[in-house]
Amino acid sequence: MTTDFSYRTGDGFSIERHISAEDVKKFAEVVGDLNPIHLDSDFAERSFFKKRLVHGAFLGGLISKVLGMDYPGQGTIYISQNSLFKRPVYVDTTVKVEVKVAEVITAKRRLILDTNILNENNEVCLTGSAVVWIPE
């Protein structure tokens, strides 16, 4: 980890991640959210969505992964997150996770970050913001 704190508004990072049915199954088992909308194709087909959905918390976890491992990276402390789900993310799809610096609070070594998850059609599925602290 670096003690450098040279972040600027507009800086950012993005990754793509395929979310497989096996990923969703493992997540459901670990957290205990066995809601059939995530796991049962027949149930999902009869629902408003017509397909199985990825857990919202799984998507939040992808943002956490970026913040803690990629940008700002290891050592980052995740203070808060707000999220608005704008459209579903379906199982067996690829998403893009985007993080962009909205505000730099140098004196406290904090960043306010815009966080978005987009689907394969480049449509925003989750939007929000996060606050992180980057220790020295």
How far does Cα 71 stand from its chain's mean position? 12
The CATH number that applies at residue 85 is 3.10.129.10
Residue 3 within any structural domain of the chain: no
User: How confident is the model over 43-75, as pLDDT tens digits?
Assistant: 999 999 999 999 999 999 999 999 999 999 999
Q: Which of 54, 112, 113, 131 is nearest to 85 (CA)?
A: 54
Residue 40 within any structural domain of the chain: yes
Distance CA 19, CA 117 (A): 12
Residue 2 within any structural domain of the chain: no
Domain span at 20: 12-133
Residue 27 within any structural domain of the chain: yes
Give pLDDT, residue 1: 47
Residue 5 within any structural domain of the chain: no
Q: Is the pLDDT of residue 2 over 70?
A: no
Residue 72 within any structural domain of the chain: yes
Q: Is the pLDDT of residue 26 over 60?
A: yes
User: How confident is the model over 68-84, as pLDDT tens digits?
Assistant: 999 999 999 999 999 99
Give pLDDT, residue 3: 64
Question: How many independent structural domains does the chain possess?
Answer: 1
CB 39 within 8 A of CB 28: yes
Which strands make up the sheet holding 12-19, listed edge to edge? 12-19, 93-105, 110-118, 124-133, 77-85
